[in-house]
Amino acid sequence: MTQASRIRVGVVQMTSTDDLSANLACAEQGVREAAQRGARLIALPEMFPYLRREGAAFPCAQPIEGEILGRFRSLASTLQAWILAGSIAEAIPGEARVYNTSVLISPRGAIEAAYRKLHLFDIDLASQGGGTYTESASVCAGAELVVAPTPFGGVGLSICYDLRFPELYRTLSARGARFLSVPSAFTPETGTAHWEVLLRARAIENQAFVIAAAQCGRHSGTRSSYGHSLIVDPWGTVLAELADRPEVAVADCDLAAQDRIRVNLPALRHRRL
């Protein structure tokens, strides 16, 4: 596979709700806008098709071969772009819970990789003025790490709360990831305090581009997200950042510059542990 020297990346920021049709229309519009602005790898946020109050069921859960991703597989083929379908609720046969699954779709419309979220968001933010979250009540944890090969290098897949576990990203980097994808629905409390610093740290530690498409705004009467989608380069420089409303950002990722960073500051080769 011949590797490109530069690629334009796009992130689509959304405020998904329990209106599946409206969410999918918004996601498609965002992907089309990013493609029109030259993006060849376009990322959507966590649970972009459907998001409502914490702990609620997912009536739109379906297999990754289902209609939801089918729509974006067709779109990828039409636009000749890679689409990182942030995450969906993947139905599990014989199980009431779902997987929180991120899927990478090629410009051929093929599913190139699927990653099921490893770390589930079971926390209590009451002392920080937030709520209590028990993702494991409706979601099953995955078990495998995923790095997808592409013409512009390996893409390591992760989702939201995974961001707090640096060993995951070290392993993805060791397996060839040049890009790290972090589709998210960060809470306002944790986002304000930790979002940017963690994303930039993961980029710097692994000398990788970090692509973090986020949910933003209020999804229901009891749930909201921080927004501030980011694209970060391997030096930790923020190439693009959104605010707290639905919109699209693009940025050029220079792989030759990444190579120079990895040669001149060979921290990945200096690892002892």
Which residue among the candidates 26, 60, 160, 253 is catalytic per the annotation? 160
Does 248 map to a domain?
yes
**Burial label, 201 (beta-carbon count in 10 A; 0-12, 13-18, 19+):** middle
User: pLDDT tens digits, residue range 101-114?
Assistant: 999 999 999 999 99
Q: What is the pLDDT of residue 133?
A: 84
Mean pLDDT, residues 61-86 taken together:
98
Q: What is the C-alpha separation between 105 and 103, in angstroms, rounded?
A: 6
Domain residue limits at 225: 8-264
User: pLDDT tens digits, residue range 20-41?
Assistant: 999 999 999 999 999 999 999 9
Q: What is the pLDDT of residue 4?
A: 74
Q: What is the C-alpha separation between 51 and 19, in angstroms, rounded?
A: 9
Catalytic-residue membership of 28? no
Is 24:71 a contact under the CB 8 Å cutoff?
A: yes
Does 58 map to a domain?
yes
Q: How far is CA 121 from the centre of its chain?
A: 15
Does 271 map to a domain?
no
User: Where residue 273 falls among pLDDT bands split at 50, 70, 90?
Assistant: confident
User: Where residue 54 falls among pLDDT bands split at 50, 70, 90?
Assistant: low
* Domains in the chain, number: 1
Does 151 map to a domain?
yes
- pTM, whole model, 2 decimals? 0.95
Closest CA to 163 of 113, 213, 125: 213
Does 270 map to a domain?
no
CATH number of the domain bearing residue 110: 3.60.110.10
Catalytic-residue membership of 117? yes
Does 273 map to a domain?
no
User: Where residue 118 falls among pLDDT bands split at 50, 70, 90?
Assistant: very high
Which residue among the candidates 90, 117, 140, 216 is catalytic per the annotation? 117
Q: What is the pLDDT of residue 55?
A: 61
Mean pLDDT, residues 75-91 taken together:
98
Does 178 map to a domain?
yes
Mean pLDDT, residues 107-122 taken together:
97
The rounded mean pLDDT for the chain is 95
The dihedral through the CA atoms of 220, 222, 226, 229 has a sign that is negative
Does 3 map to a domain?
no
User: Where residue 222 falls among pLDDT bands split at 50, 70, 90?
Assistant: confident
Which residue among the candidates 46, 54, 90, 135 is catalytic per the annotation? 46
Catalytic-residue membership of 216? no
User: Where residue 240 falls among pLDDT bands split at 50, 70, 90?
Assistant: very high
Indicate if the pLDDT at residue 228 is higher than 80.
Answer: yes
